[in-house]
Amino acid sequence: MRSDIVKKGIEKAPHRSLFKAMGYTDEEIKRPLIGIANSKSEIIPGHIHLDKIAEAVKAGIRMAGGTPVEFGVIGVCDGIAMGHLGMKYSLATRELIADSCEAMALAHSFDGMVFIPNCDKIVPGMLMAAARINIPSIVISGGPMLSIKINDEYADLNSVFEAVGAYKVGKITEEELLDYENNACPGCGSCSGMFTANSMNCLTEVLGLGLPGNGTIPAVYAHRIRLAKQVGMKIMELIEKNIKPSDILKPKAFENALAVDMALGCSTNSVLHLLAIAKEAGIELDLDKINKISSRVPNICKLAPAGKHHVQDLHAAGGIPAVLKELSSKNLIDDSLLTVTGKTIRENIEKARVLDREVIRSVDDPYSPTGGIAVLKGNLAPEGAVVKRSAVAPEMLCHKGPARVFDSEDEAIEAIYNGKISKGDVVIIRYEGPKGGPGMREMLGPTSAIAGMGLDKDVALITDGRFSGATRGASIGHVSPEAMEGGPIALVQDGDIISIDIPNGQLNMEVSKEELDNRKKKWKCPEPKITKGYLGRYSRHVSSASKGAVL
């Protein structure tokens, strides 16, 4: 066992004495030591209950003859961090999470790892750590929040953001806004739509590092506790068989993840995270591959914010196994790959079936013949930009309009709320990329304001930052190179005509090359917004969004 280095032999008596100081018995010390990275906290609804998940995992480990060793991991709540300095830290913490899990696992020579995340950056951070550490590992999320009805429609966190915009233009009263505030997030779990957290928890299943059900079993179901116990038992089997992440995270596993990403219409952030996880696994994944997969994989689910269904509906319809079964029927995924069940995807989905054709459509009757995510390129984004195509109104798939340029998210929100954005405008928000932000803030505030005001079918937003998975509308993010690196988005001026052609993957400004060259000569890189502390270090070393925004 790997852990023998900290517990076996006469020379390790001092080490064992430290274990005994914590109450471990000789029998517990002899058993395999399983690290449990638990991101439980009292600041994230998706993490408030993770102590219960951890206790269930521990029970499973003990039943199977192991010794669980739990430690804490940080996490930022994107919703609470939204719209202020806090959002600069969100993406940046992904690297801290990966680094801290690596440090704990390798410093203490654990025999295996169970990762317990649930929200946004915490899931990919732990997946990056699993790939990097490469010892037997399983991920078990805390599960999605339930969605309940408000005014005869199922609501979620995005409903509250959009309600603010509706209130600002007099569409709803303050009392109606309070109703959303009090009821849209009814309890623990990751926010209930196919936002970033649930996207990544579903894709964890597809990658093979989560048991079936990981992405969709609601947080409040007893089934989630049973799954956690199964994870505890399964990690012991993986140790016995020496099945490591490198045996599972093959190039085809990432292609499968992209295929399911397209089928579900996941958050655009999933692209950013899959690039980063692939890099940790030593696999090259580029943006061009995304459009190739999108061209052949149909969008068969429309979950919030793209549609009316939520993750609880996807679970009731058969979950990710049913989606995989549907895609495998047309050979759109490789179902021969190994997973943490110890079996292949084909074996895992053998009995899966679609239980609701309204939620999971047939590949022969999709919402769209192409996938839910698209990568755009052109003279505004030479290295690429990403849009959640499935959440864009049909009339905005192709759009031309004058640029309204803002050098920060805050300036843009002020203009939107003060009625300074007109139908047809293309809002450009720059200097919010990985370096420029720093931290590549999510733009749920401006997108929700525009949607709440009823302008989402008339106004596009383009940024070198990123958008929340809850965003809907013609919201194009991850523009690379970013403004802080002198990318073309830094050269856009008010009134420039911006041309968006999502079906053909094009994003251009109708400005001559000569004019852009002249603007480039006059452009000066602004001073960094933050130079000290972790964000200062992050901004100096972070890569482009097209490379996953990794350090």
The residue type of 98 is A
In sequence order, what are the beta bridge partners of 428? 405, 462
450 three-class SS: helix
Written as six digits, the tokens of 282 are 């030593």
Query: Which stretches of 184-283 are DSSP H helices?
Result: 196-207, 222-241, 245-248, 251-264, 269-280
Report the 10 Å Cβ neighbour count for 329: 12
What kind and span of H or E run contains 364? none
d(CA 196, CA 209): 17
Annotated catalytic residue, options 90, 141, 468, 475: 468
d(CA 117, CA 115): 6
259 three-class SS: helix
One-letter-per-residue 3-state SS of 464-520: CCECCCCCCCCEEEEEECCHHHCCHHHHCCCCCEEEEECCCCEEEECCCHHHHHHHH
| C-alpha dist (Å) from residue 452 to 161, 163, 445, 472 | 8, 6, 10, 11
Contacts of 382 (CB under 8 A, 6+ apart): 480, 481, 487, 488
Question: Is 362 labeled as catalytic in the residue annotation?
Answer: no
Q: Tokens 């803002």: give the residue.
A: 406
Buried b (16+ CB within 10 A) or exposed e, 420-436: ebeeebbbbbbbbbbbb
Contacts of 189 (CB under 8 A, 6+ apart): 45, 46, 49, 118, 142, 143, 144, 145, 146, 218, 219, 220
d(CA 508, CA 146): 40
How many Å separate Cα 453 from the centre of its chain?
27
Residue 305 sits at the vertex; the CA angle it makes with 40 and 302, to the nearest 5 degrees, is 110
Query: Which stretches of 298-423 are DSSP H helices?
Result: 311-316, 319-328, 345-348, 409-417
DSSP 195-220: -HHHHHHHHHHHHTSS-TTTTTS-TT
What kind and span of H or E run contains 6? none
d(CA 430, CA 410): 11
| C-alpha dist (Å) from residue 215 to 104, 145, 436, 488 | 26, 11, 33, 38
Residue 433 sits at the vertex; the CA angle it makes with 475 and 76, to the nearest 5 degrees, is 90
Buried b (16+ CB within 10 A) or exposed e, 516-545: beeeeeeeeeeebbbeeeebeebbeebbbb
| Active-site residue set | 468
